[in-house]
Every structure is written in C-alpha cells, then in structure tokens.
Amino acid sequence: MTTETTVLAIETSCDETACAVIKYDSLANRYFTLSSVVSSQIDIHSVYGGVVPEVASRAHVERIDGVIEAALSEAGFSGRQGIDLIGATCGPGLIGALLVGVSAAKALAFAWDLPFIGINHLEGHLFASFLDESGPPEFPAVVLLASGGHTILLEIVGPGDYILLGQTLDDAAGEAFDKVARYLGLGYPGGPEIDRLSKVGSPKSVPLPRVMTGHDLDLSFSGVKTAVIRFVDAHPEVTNADVAASFQDNAVLALTKRLFEGAERVEAKTVMIAGGVAANSLLRESVENEAKARGVAHRIPNRKDCTDNAAMIGAAAIWRYLESGPSDPFMGAKSNMKLTYR
Ligand code: KG4
Ligand code: ZN
C-alpha cells in the first residue's frame, strides 16, 4: 500500500490566484511542496487603494487555467497522473473570487474522477506550519493567526480541534497596518510598506497607547490607529518612517505578548504564527527571540506560506481527506464560512 497522497489545491479567496501540488508521506509524516504558484493581483488593485471584488473575480477567471497548468508542470506532472485529490478554498472570502476556484476544482475533480475537498481558508493558514521540513508541530500548540480579515489566538489541541483563546475586538491586525499605511499615503497592501519603511524609522518617536484591552486574551487596534492619526495631524513634521516604526513596534509587542500569554495558559509545546501579518519582519524576530528565551518550540512559516497561497490549502486538504474522506459534493463557496472551534 502506498504511503503517499498528492493533492492539487486551489486558492482564490481574495486577490491571489494560487495553485499548488503538495505530497504527504504518511510514513515520514511530512508534507512536500512540489509546486506553489501565486499570481498576485496587487498591481491591478493598488490603483484603487484596496481590493475591488468584481475586478478580482474577473482576474481570477483570466488567470486560473494558466496558474493550474504552471503548478502541474512545475511539480513535474502533465495531467491527472499522480494526483489523488483536488482541494479548494470554499470560504471565507469574496464570493465571486471563491466561486472561480471552487468551480475550477470541482470541474477537475469531476473530469479526472478524483475526490474534492473543500477547505476553510483560516484552517489553511493554520496548516502553513505543517509544511515545515521537520513535519507537523507538537501539540498542544498555540497559534496567532493574523491576516487582513481576521486576528485570532487559538489553541490547537490537534489538527481539526481548535479552542478560541482570544481575538481582536475591532480591526484585524493586517487591516490596522493597511489603514495606517493608507493614512500615511503609502501603497496597498500597507503591511509590507510599513514593514519596509520601519527599517529606517525610530520606533520610539511617536508616543502611542498600548494595543491591548483589559479583556482576557483579546486585542484591540482601533485606539492605536486613532492615536496615530491624531499625532500625525498635530505633528505634520514627523516622518512616515518614524510613524511606521512606532506603530509596528506597538502592534508587534501586543501580538507577541498575547501569543505567549496564551501559550503559558495552555502549557503549549509549540507556538506558531500564521496569516499575512506573520510575514512581518519584526513579528518574526520578536516571536523567535521570545520563544528561544522561554525554551518553547516555535514555528514561523516561510514568508510565502504566510500570505495567501495554495500550498497551505493543500496541506489542510490532505489532512482532512485522510481524517474524514471527501467533502460533501454540495459543499460550495461560502463568503462568511466560519472556522469551527470550541
Ligand atoms: O493572509 P493574507 O495574505 O490575506 C488574508 O487572508 O487577509 O493577509 C493579508 C494581510 C494584509 O492586511 C497585509 O497588509 C498583511 O497581511 N501583511 C503584512 C505583511 N505582509 C502582509 N503585515 C505586516 N507586515 C508584512 N510584512
Ligand atoms: Zn489569508
């Protein structure tokens, strides 16, 4: 009996058209990224200062076939041969964008007579850490999932078994980066711009309130965002680099603090970060330093596995399939799909 399972996975929940081929070897308990192709639409949307849903859907339609072909050929496949499953992000995300990926995946599954696995995008982000060459993390793990639409702190008891420890009470972390960047007149998406500019700014130049609330392990970004705007209005001479560095320092401090408070509470064996904000240089450095200081194992996925991609969807799809078989054939795109947690 073969110990290998290979998936072709598709991700189109927002503004990246992505396809990956991932192999899992159950004997070695390791996932292998055979290819991971991401066609970003950032250039198209940046002129609007944000993602325009209808424009995103059209761009997915134009690109999806080429991206699938590229992922297959980069992985050394020429068609169905060697592929065992087809996975796709079903939600949450932009409905028109999701429909393009789900329809392409279902069409391939039907044409090639393969099982279809629908994946929650947030669960996909959690699986980015499973792609590490040392295999899946040790559990229980605590993960900070911070993206453009979500910021949640979860305990992963085991794959598929999640407990919510905390979440943002207002803006998602990525959204706060994007809003501050937009206010400063930087490009879209703002997170990478703030990250880049911060390297030449001073983090202590703008006095800002802590990103924090009294509520348990929750977070709140609206106060600090408003404080940035007020400070810049009152001090027009302050440089964008100093504002970016001060905001980033503040946000990273809070995110790191919550992650390790959560880890301590559940006595986590591993701490992890996931989602687009996990690509942030300072957050990566801060989590690594803190984990080393505390002697806790940590997982920081490669940058390209943090922002939206299909490799993470592929890893989640293989796990789900081996755990519970194919998805219901009527499972379709759902823009407000929720992650199931306790
Ligand atoms: O996970 P993701 O690619 O898409 C969603 O599922 O939302 O996350 C996108 C978010 C955006 O808000 C973007 O500004 C942020 O991740 N981001 C960053 C960095 N790279 C992407 N934030 C801070 N620093 C970065 N280097
Ligand atoms: Zn995402």
pLDDT of 279 over the 90 cut: yes
Query: Taking all residues of the chain, what is their mean pLDDT, rounded to a whole number?
Result: 96
pLDDT digits over 52-104, tens only? Answer: 999 999 999 999 999 999 999 999 999 999 999 999 999 999 999 999 999 99
What percentage of the chain exceeds 90 in pLDDT? 94
- Identify the band that residue 210 occupies on the pLDDT scale cut at 50, 70 and 90: confident
Same fold, 4-128+306-324 and 136-300: yes
pLDDT of 240 over the 70 cut: yes
Cβ–ligand 1 distance for 93 under 6 Å, the answer no
pLDDT digits over 120-175, tens only? Answer: 999 999 999 999 999 999 999 999 999 999 999 999 999 999 999 999 999 999 99
| Confidence at residue 49, expressed as pLDDT on a 0 to 100 scale | 86
Which residue is it, tokens 């320092």? 249
For ligand 1, the distance from its centroid to the CA atom of residue 187, given in whole angstroms, is: 13
Cβ–ligand 1 distance for 174 under 6 Å, the answer yes
| Confidence at residue 215, expressed as pLDDT on a 0 to 100 scale | 66
Cβ–ligand 1 distance for 223 under 6 Å, the answer no
Q: Are 271 and 296 in contact (CB under 8 A)?
A: yes
Six token digits for residue 7? 């998936």
Which residue is it, tokens 């949640």? 152
User: Under CATH, what is the fold of the domain 136-300?
Assistant: Nucleotidyltransferase; domain 5 (3.30.420)
Cβ–ligand 1 distance for 307 under 6 Å, the answer yes
Of 33-47, 210-224, 287-301, minimum mean pLDDT range: 210-224
* CATH H-level superfamily of 4-128+306-324: ATPase, nucleotide binding domain (3.30.420.40)
For ligand 2, the distance from its centroid to the CA atom of residue 115, given in whole angstroms, is: 24
Residue 164 vs residue 49, higher pLDDT: 164
Six token digits for residue 312? 């993470």
Testing ligand 1's pocket by substitution, the residue of 277, 284, 286 carrying the most ligand atoms inside 8 A of its CB is 277
Cβ–ligand 1 distance for 148 under 6 Å, the answer yes
Per domain, the residue ranges of the chain are 4-128+306-324, 136-300
Distance separating alpha carbons of residues 250 and 228, to the nearest angstrom:
11
Looking at the DSSP assignment, which residues form a beta bridge with residue 152? 145, 167
Q: Residue 24 class from Cβ within 10 Å (0-12 exposed, 13-18 middle, 19+ buried)? A: buried
Q: Which residues contact 226 (CB under 8 A, 6 or more apart)?
A: none
Cβ–ligand 1 distance for 131 under 6 Å, the answer no
DSSP code of 80? S
pTM for the complete prediction? Answer: 0.97
Q: Helices 281-294 and 240-266 meet at what angle, rounded to 10?
A: 30
